[in-house]
Amino acid sequence: MSKDQGITQLREELRGWLADNVPPDWRDRQSGDDVEGFLASQREWLSKLVAGGYATPHWPKEWPGGGRLLGEQVAIFEEIARADAPRMSLFFVSLYHAAMTLMECGTEEQKARHLPAILKGEIWCQGFSEPNAGSDLASLRCKAERRGDHYVVSGQKTWSTMGQFADWCLLLVRTDSSGPKQAGITFLLMDMKSKGVECRPIKQITGDEEFAEIFLDSVEIPVENRVGEENEGWRVAQATLSSERGLTAVELTERLARSLWRLVSLVTAEGLETDRLDDEARRQIVDIASRIEGLRALISLLTVRRIAGMEAVGDASIIKLGYARILRDFTALGLRLRGMSAMREMDYVLGAGYETSNWMFDFMNSYQWNIAGGSNEIQRNIVSERVLMMPREKLA
């Protein structure tokens, strides 16, 4: 059987499995303030994906459903998105950032302790960004001092996705301030139940609480929970951040493409005001559809490059910038077409993404992508300096 035939067969099998297993009411269960419904829904979906062998196609072959070729992984992401299955928002950091960091840089003891637990529902968050160290992550100041077999950590982290629900945290700390900023960072695994850890959800403009800030007051973390050597955390962090490239964009873009009908339905719905049924609205829908197809083609090219081991610096930045702009324009058009009634229908779906048809929520939520995954400004700098080879401007 050829690779193409194998992927076609995989798609057919997965479509049948998804038809039988995607909960039809998952959006309702995750709506509004029903946090317990959200947690239960996410745990049930993870359990189904693990049992079906579709939760960890990017893990090594010794794990359930692991060892998939990159083309197969892409097919799985596309089909899950096309079926409008729940996002793995609660377990994204666990399945990708935490798991791939441990596999690449962790000790055998750390892998044995945490990887099976992740498949059973262990929740991880990321403690990287700080109030004054987000895009410039190397400027972090959360301090760790080694005392015997423990590090004592004090400081603050912010914008930690799902941090209020997490069992463990991937934590970057400052262990040396004498040299270059990147050279004094250490990577630790922190139990969120440790004494001195306080986690506060951040209420967003949408009413959602997807992020949290974490306060650390003399938290003791065993040295055995260090990943890599002391002061080499920057290298480990690059493995963490690179673990989501490409495949995440496949799912996000596919979900957006599959949501175009939501815009079309607004134009064709009965009772809409005539000033919203103009040629300009139709032109904008076609424009957005064309841009989504262009982004799909770009992601396909990136996938081919990755398979061939030829991924270029800046590929992920270009895709991220393209997605962020399309998403913002997509939701803004939906909001305009829906009109003032969108104000009365404002609601949110925990961890659902940006294609819920709650247009005011989707629009406001879309602005996260100006920052998420690295701010647009930083991504443009990467493209200009590393792809276009433009000189860095020196300020007078």
Residue 221 has phi, psi (to 5 degrees) of -125, 125
Angle between helices 247-257 and 279-307 (to 10 degrees): 160
Residue type, 117: A
Whether the CB-CB separation of 223 and 248 falls below 8 Å is answered with: no
Burial environment of residue 324 by CB neighbours within 10 A (0 to 12, 13 to 18, 19 or more): buried
Q: Is the dihedral of CA 132, 138, 142, 143 positive or negative?
A: negative
CA distances from 69 to 4, 14, 64, 373 (A): 12, 16, 14, 25
Question: Over the range 327-363, which residues count as b (16 or more CB within 10 Å of their CB) and which as e?
Answer: bbebbbbbbebbeeebeeeeebbbbbbbbbbbbbbbb
Question: Over the range 149-161, which residues count as b (16 or more CB within 10 Å of their CB) and which as e?
Answer: ebbbbbbbbbbbb
Whether the CB-CB separation of 171 and 187 falls below 8 Å is answered with: yes
CA atoms within 13 A on the CB side of 20: 9
- Please give the positions annotated as active site: 244
Alpha carbon distance 330, 64 (integer Å): 37
Residue ranges of alpha helices (H) inside 312-386 are: 315-338, 341-344, 359-366, 376-382
Per the DSSP assignment, residues forming a β-bridge with 160 are: 212
The residues, ordered by sequence, that sit 6+ positions from 42 with a Cβ below 8 Å of its Cβ are 30, 86, 88, 89, 90, 91, 351
Q: Is the dihedral of CA 140, 198, 237, 211 positive or negative?
A: negative
Output the six-digit token pair for 165. 């629900």
Q: Is the dihedral of CA 294, 300, 306, 309 positive or negative?
A: negative
The CA-based angle 294-298-301, given to 5 degrees, is 140
